[in-house]
Chains A and B, each alone.
Chain A
Amino acid sequence: MASTNPALRYQVLRIYKELLFMGRDYPLGYEYYRTRLHKAFFSQRGIDDPEKIKAGIKRAEFVKKEIEALYFLKRYRTLRKRYNQS
């Protein structure tokens, strides 16, 4: 991994960090999230092609948006449940 483009490497590590940070409030727990995230990144470790790495980063950005959406949905559902209780 060190042999590849350092700029891309930083980008990958940054998005990894951001995703880790977002997993703090994951509904199934941080441990669950962290192991999954690690596995997902680890499975892509053989990629050398810069284009493919860029595509991977794009995918990571997409996943980040998905997680964000998940949180919003969870909040929405919780609030709706509370308001409809009475």
Chain B
Amino acid sequence: MFRTALFRSARQAVRAAPRCQTAIARPVVPRSLFQQKQIAPAAYFQAVRCYSASAGLSKDEVEGRIMDLLKNFDKVTDTSKLNSASHFHNDLGLDSLDTVEVVMAIEEEFSIEIPDKEADAIHSVKQAVDYIVAQPDGEDAPAPH
């Protein structure tokens, strides 16, 4: 009884082993039409966003990321005043040098470079969000020709 069970499980393991192997190292030549169908389901590509796709950044996402960034900024002591409309100087008590630091952090967060003139015009969370959304990656970006 025990011996037959052992034998059966061993045979099953042997049968299972090559199946595992094919899953890991896929043969270049598909062995059968059935298997090929199994490997590439049609919905597989929908989860991937192409780099060329537009409207990658929604306004809410941008706002959330900027808020998180400001929350972690140690000069912002009063987080209760932090909302989407707060002004860096009036509400959060940051001076112009801190604003430069915040803008630098935003540049890094979104992997962009903000020119000096535009960076100087950003004084509030709302302005920063509007600027990021107007960028080529954002939602409100002008359509490419």
Which A residues have a C-beta under 8 Å from some C-beta of B? 1, 9-10, 13-14, 16-17, 20-21, 31, 34, 38, 41-42
Interface size class of B (residues with CB under 8 A): 10 to 19
Q: Please tell me if the beta carbons of B116 and A20 are within 8 angstroms of each other in the complex.
A: no
Interface SS majority for chain B? helix
A9 to B101, CA, bound (A): 15
Q: Report chain B residues within 8 Å CB of A9.
A: 120
Nearest chain A CB to B129's CB is how many angstroms away?
21
Q: Given that A1-B96, A42-B95, A42-B97 are contacting pairs, would A17 and B104 also be in contact in the complex, using a CB cutoff of 8 Å?
A: yes
Interface SS majority for chain A? helix
Nearest chain A CB to B16's CB is how many angstroms away?
52
Nearest chain B CB to A32's CB is how many angstroms away?
13
A21 to B119, CA, bound (A): 16
Chain A residue nearest in CB terms to B96 = A1
Q: Report chain A residues within 8 Å CB of B82.
A: none
B 90-121 to A, binary, CB cutoff 8 A, 1 in contact else 0: 00000111101100100000000000110110
A41 to B74, CA, bound (A): 18
Which residues of B in the span 31-56 have a Cβ within 8 Å of any Cβ on A? none
Q: Report chain B residues within 8 Å CB of A1.
A: 96
Which residues of B in the span 51-100 have a Cβ within 8 Å of any Cβ on A? 74, 95-98, 100
Q: Please tell me if the beta carbons of B116 and A13 are within 8 angstroms of each other in the complex.
A: yes
Q: Please tell me if the beta carbons of A10 and B104 are within 8 angstroms of each other in the complex.
A: no
Chain A residue nearest in CB terms to B116 = A10
A9 to B117, CA, bound (A): 10
Besides A10-B117, A16-B100, 17 new A-B residue pairs in contact (Cβ under 8 A), listed by A number: A1-B96, A10-B116, A13-B100, A13-B119, A13-B120, A14-B116, A16-B97, A17-B100, A17-B104, A20-B100, A20-B101, A20-B104, A21-B104, A34-B101, A38-B98, A42-B95, A42-B97
